[in-house]
Amino acid sequence: MIKPINGYVLIEPLKHDSFVVGPKETFEEIGIVLDYDDDRDQTLTSTFKQSAILRKGARVYFDAWLAGKYPAGEHGKYYWLVSMKDIKAIDYGDTVSA
């Protein structure tokens, strides 16, 4: 598996079932965090460090137009490299009661 550097996050897109038959099998803007650039923490000036925000296995919502798509080795499987600044939201799967 590739290792992201320079503030990038390695994402595997989610598969989904669809009522409409078509060539798309994945959400292009929703995926699971596989890995991220650990060294980026040392250069962030924000109070919050990237590792405090990101967790491997978290679901992220990202801008696919600005992401890189690369073959994962298996036929038809791809990984996305997304800049941290292009991730719009993170879902940890935690439930909150109102």
Q: How many residues does the chain have?
A: 98
CA-closest candidate to residue 70, choices 8, 5, 12: 12
| Paired tokens of 14 | 């989610």
Half-sphere exposure of 42 (CA within 13 A, CB side): 5
CA distance 49 to 40: 9
Strands 59-62 and 26-36: antiparallel
Distance (Å, rounded) from C-alpha 20 to C-alpha 96? 33
* 88 vs 19, higher pLDDT: 88
Which tens digit of pLDDT belongs to each residue from 44-97?
Answer: 445 445 556 788 899 999 988 889 998 888 777 888 999 988 898 998 876 445
Domain annotation for the chain: domains and CATH numbers: 8-91 (2.30.33)
